[in-house]
Amino acid sequence: MQERIMLDKRLKQVVDYIPKGSILADIGSDHAYVPCYAVQQGLIARGIAGEVNVGPMEAAQAQVDLIGARDVIDVRLGDGLAVLKKDEATCISICGMGGSLIRSILESGKDKLGAVERLVLQPNVDGQYVREWLLENGYRLVEESIVKENDKVYEILVGEKGEEDVYSADENERNWQLLFGPFLLQSRPEPFKLKWSREAAKLDYVLGQMAEGVQSEALVRKQTEFKRYRDKMREVSQ
């Protein structure tokens, strides 16, 4: 009897954004839970699980074998999108990494994105770097969500090829939208408020430490900048 895959709240939200019938490449697949679940639910035509290290790759292969999906999920060892052939995947998911790393993976593998219709990206931190990459590379942000699980808060960002239409023409406002997320900034669900109230508290601590230092011109400028960010974080978390 095949084992039924159960996903946590974070990954279940990721899977909900995968278009039915996709050829899914899950990069940094961690036991291949996302493609295994998607196959069992009949959501994808085929899956590719990419891992950069041998241990996680072997764990992913064991999970694929456990559910009897070797014929539809290909487990590959390689760095980022290097595991893909050109125009092979129609949907790419990258979860559980920092936003700067996700951005780097996408930038390094741009030649593999020709057939990709949707990117489902779950940065643990620094989601603004992912939004910036999408904006700069012909992808429009079509959806965002945020979930709280085990006292941690996770953002999920969905990008599709097309002309961006959600960001403000005003540079200052656009920068805030990139940081907070244009959709999340508008809806402000409870996990969003929790995330940014915590970030404001972190900046409060940093500012307290800075206040004890020698007040050079450069330090004062940095304090002013941090206070601006802290105050905005407090505002959006109300």
Q: Are strands 44-51 and 73-77 parallel, antiparallel or unpaired?
A: parallel
Whole-Å CA distances, 55 to 33, 61, 99, 105, 222: 15, 10, 23, 20, 43
Grade residue 164 by pLDDT with cuts at 50, 70 and 90: confident
Q: Is residue 141's pLDDT more than 70?
A: yes
Mean pLDDT of 126-143: 97
Query: With bands split at pLDDT 50, 70 and 90, how would you rate the model's confidence at 215?
Result: confident
Residue 163 Cα distances to 19, 66, 136, 179, 181, angstroms: 20, 42, 11, 20, 17
Strand ranges across the sheet with 152-161 = 73-77, 44-51, 22-27, 91-97, 118-123, 152-161, 139-149
Q: Give, in degrees to the nearest 5, the angle at Cα 25 between 126 and 73.
A: 140
CA distance 225 to 218: 11
Write down the pTM of the prediction.
0.94
Condensed to tens digits (0 to 9), the pLDDT of residues 32-59 reads 999 999 999 999 999 999 999 999 999 9
CA atoms within 13 A on the CB side of 60: 26
Pick from 43-52, 111-120, 180-189, 203-212: least confident? 203-212
Q: Which of 8-17, 106-115, 210-219 has the lowest mean pLDDT?
A: 210-219
Amino acid at 127: G
Give mean pLDDT, residues 147-171: 95
pLDDT in tens, 88-121: 999 999 999 999 999 999 999 999 999 999 999 9
Count of CB atoms situated within 10 Å of the CB of 66: 14
Contact (Cβ atoms closer than 8 angstroms) between residue 57 and residue 75? yes
**Interval 60-74: pLDDT, tens:** 999 999 999 999 999
Residue 3: predicted pLDDT: 80
pLDDT exceeds 70 at position 2 = no
182-151-201 Cα angle (round to 5): 65
* Average of per-residue pLDDT values in the chain: 96
98, two tokens: 């920092």
pLDDT of res. 196 = 98
Q: What is the CATH number of domain 9-168?
A: 3.40.50.150
In this prediction, residues 164-182 reach a mean pLDDT of 96
**Cβ contacts of 92 within 8 Å, gap of 6 or more:** 24, 25, 26, 27, 81, 113, 116, 118, 119, 120
CA dihedral sign, ordered 117, 167, 97, 2: negative
pLDDT at 1: 38
Q: How confident is the model at residue 30, as a pLDDT?
A: 86
From the CB of residue 30, how many other CB atoms can be counted at a distance below 10 Å? 16
Which residue shows structure tokens 């590959």? 76
Instruction: Answer yes or no: is pLDDT of 78 > 90.
Output: yes
pLDDT at 111: 96
How far the first Cα of the chain sits from its last, in Å, is 50
Domain ranges of the chain: 9-168, 191-236
